[in-house]
Amino acid sequence: MKFDFDADAGLKKIYGTYTGQLNQWVEGGEPPKLAMQEIRCAMEQQREHWKRSGLQVHQKIKGIKGASREVPAVSYQDRMFVNHIVGSEKMITTTIWDSGGEIYRWTGEAGLSVVIQELKKNTQPPQDMALSCPHCGAPATLAQLENGCPFCDTHFVMEELYPKVTNQFTTRKHSQDVKQDLWLLPLFLAVMIGLAFTVMPEAFRSRGLPDAYSRVMGVPASLIAGLILWGVCKALGIFKMAKDLRGSGKLIRSLQFRHQIKKLDPEFSTEYFRDRAMNLFRMMAYSEDPGVYTACECRRPDSWENVLDASLYNFGVDKYRINGNECSVSITLYLDALIYKQGKVKYKGKKVRMTLRKIITEPTNLGFSVKAVSCPSCAGSFDAEKVKCCPYCGKEYDLVQHDWVVTEIR
């Protein structure tokens, strides 16, 4: 992995094009053409999820005038692909209506980052590599797309198939979320009560004041002290630091997991694993029936149906078990989410705990897509998202031997 403090002009152009396509999608257009097929499907499911909830959602993304608001770029790669995390700060307005009118509006600055996947220079993928048609989304191979998609007959060259966006993240600036600080209010109330009945009265008594007077004066003095402490914490950014540290306690376990799994899979990528986990969450949260998907081996919690939109802030490993070439890992996703409940929409932090499983038989392929897999038996390309057997030869396609699947949600 490497850090580039300034993304090149090509990446900036791709980023700008994608944000434009994202705006068009929220306004009722098709999902961004630059997005990988899993992202496009998740966006279509999300829009249907809004409709089932009886809501209309509109979002506008604009650039911010003035100084550069770019986020330092990060790159990571495997044998064939290189991925770039590119982003900048944007001015975003989100508005939500139900049948009775507007129920939510927010305007403020937020960081919008995307993961852009490109082929490595001088790399020629195999002709039988499974891909999704950028035009109709049908599964195909590289050779088929170059000669004409077998479903829509659209012809592509390699430059039209890549780059593509494999994930996106939106992080609001803390200054826009003052209400989120209220979660610490009970702590400050407890501190003030403790001061009012212990420390402050004793301080007044030590100055020779009557006992009754000391108890009475202890209350307003404690209130003033608590407000001063609150102001100091705000000035020093203590609340912001608390939010920024979400998931940091799991860093050591996450590093241990990465070290152990790399013994089985030298191409393992923490970033790809993170993106896969988030895409699985989107699929299960937005779809009407997650049970139809081959990557879902458990029941979705009812509370997930309240999630209108979610962006990953951080994630961490809780525990893991590696038995031979089979790996099971429990993780926590720390999300910033829009939650719809009882006619109201709130923006709040959400923790999601999932257990993922994979049988590691080959190195990680950062270009893998469940929407277009290659059958190990006959090399036929098909969409394995909801199909467990190859439609050409009938042989079962065990997704867990090629990618991560969800086995438990807590």
pLDDT score of 51 more than 70 = yes
Residue 191 confidence class, pLDDT cut points 50, 70, 90: low
pLDDT score of 213 more than 80 = no
CA 406, CA 277: separation in Å to the nearest integer? 9
CA 343, CA 189: separation in Å to the nearest integer? 30
Residues 85, 89, 93, 94: what is their CA dihedral angle, to the nearest 10 degrees?
Answer: 30
pLDDT at 3 (0 to 100): 46
Residue 226 confidence class, pLDDT cut points 50, 70, 90: low
Where is mean pLDDT largest: 24-33, 101-110, 117-126, 296-305?
A: 101-110
Work out the mean pLDDT of the chain and round it to a whole number: 80
pLDDT at 278 (0 to 100): 92
Residue 155 confidence class, pLDDT cut points 50, 70, 90: low
Higher pLDDT, 327 or 150: 327
Cis previous bond, 163, omega within 30: yes
Please compute the mean of the pLDDT values over residues 205-230 and round it to a whole number.
Answer: 67
CA 239, CA 145: separation in Å to the nearest integer? 52
For residue 235, count other CB atoms closer than 10 A to its CB: 8
Task: State how far Cα 54 lies from the chain centre.
Answer: 24
CA 104, CA 98: separation in Å to the nearest integer? 9
Higher pLDDT, 246 or 293: 293
Please compute the mean of the pLDDT values over residues 65-89 and round it to a whole number.
Answer: 77
pLDDT tens digits, one per residue of 330-389? 999 999 999 999 899 999 889 999 999 999 888 777 677 776 777 888 877 777 787 778
pLDDT score of 201 more than 80 = no
Q: Whole-angstrom distance between the N-terminal and C-terminal Cα of the chain?
A: 32
Angle between the 211-236 and 185-194 helix axes, to the nearest 10 degrees? Answer: 150
CA 180, CA 169: separation in Å to the nearest integer? 20
CA 316, CA 130: separation in Å to the nearest integer? 31
Please compute the mean of the pLDDT values over residues 212-217 and round it to a whole number.
Answer: 66
pTM of the model: 0.75
Please compute the mean of the pLDDT values over residues 93-98 and round it to a whole number.
Answer: 94
CA 369, CA 303: separation in Å to the nearest integer? 28
pLDDT at 177 (0 to 100): 46
Residue 176 confidence class, pLDDT cut points 50, 70, 90: very low
Please compute the mean of the pLDDT values over residues 305-314 and round it to a whole number.
Answer: 90
pLDDT score of 197 more than 80 = no
Q: What percent of the chain stands above pLDDT 70?
A: 73
CA 348, CA 308: separation in Å to the nearest integer? 12
The amino acid at 340: Y
pLDDT at 223 (0 to 100): 67
Please compute the mean of the pLDDT values over residues 5-9 and round it to a whole number.
Answer: 62
pLDDT at 338 (0 to 100): 94
CB 250 within 8 A of CB 316: yes
pLDDT at 385 (0 to 100): 80
pLDDT score of 178 more than 50 = no
pLDDT at 129 (0 to 100): 66
pLDDT at 207 (0 to 100): 72
pLDDT at 22 (0 to 100): 92
